[in-house]
Amino acid sequence: MNCCKNCCKEFKTNWQLQRHLSKKLPCKTSESIKCLNESKVYHDYCKQISMSNPMKDDNDIDVLEKELGIQSTETTKHKCRFCNYESPKTSNVKRHMLSCKTKIQYKEKLHEMIETKKNFNIQITDNRQTNNNTVTNRTTNTTNNLDITIYTITQEQWDYMRNKIRELLNKEGNLKENIEDYIRKHNDPNRKNIFD
């Protein structure tokens, strides 16, 4: 294989490469592109061009949806499931999928949802501080252990809490006191986030 040093395009024969190089408008050069035959170092853009798989992005979205527990919508081969673009030829739909803006936005939204899910599932434990105080002829060791656990709140719990807060709003008295009394009466560890 013969490779153009400017654009990293490969040609089967040398004369095709020479024809490519002697064009009136030369190919565009890119930074740090080296041909596969010379050093196996590719620019990121060159990697994407040479190894692109049009359906790989769709598979990534399927994996992200499964990770988040989202049901994917089933569509026909002739219709884009993101923006409802339709074509009688499947090849047109595949070509459209490479540049579908709605699909790109949806994928970014899924990545953001995964990031927020990871941030909410953080549990902070094992924060221990040890203070050693030494007195002559006697040693006093003071160990302060602080364990903090942050529980995530699911959608069902949000709905339940909204309904409960509405009930407490309709009750007579101070809202803060009503909520604190309710939380103290129920021994659920997920609701122990109130400090006196």
The residue behind tokens 């909520």 is 179
**Mean pLDDT rounded to a whole number for the chain:** 73
C-alpha span between 192 and 189 (Å, rounded) = 5
Give the pLDDT confidence of 17-63 residue by residue, as tens digits: 899 988 888 887 755 445 554 444 444 444 444 444 545 556 788 88
User: Which residue from 26, 29, 3, 25 is spatially nearest to 14, judged by alpha carbons?
Assistant: 3
DSSP string, 43-72: -HHHHHHHT--TTHHHHHHHHHHHHHTPPP
Contact call for residues 150 and 124 (beta carbons, < 8 A): yes
Sequence spans of domains, the chain: 2-50, 56-120, 155-191
**Of 138 and 86, the one with more pLDDT:** 86
Give the pLDDT confidence of 138-180 residue by residue, as tens digits: 566 677 776 666 666 677 777 777 787 778 777 777 777 777 7
pLDDT interval class at 195 (50, 70, 90): very low
How far is the CA of 93 from the CAs of 55, 78, 99, 149, 177, in angstroms?
11, 6, 10, 48, 59
Coil vs helix vs strand at 11: strand
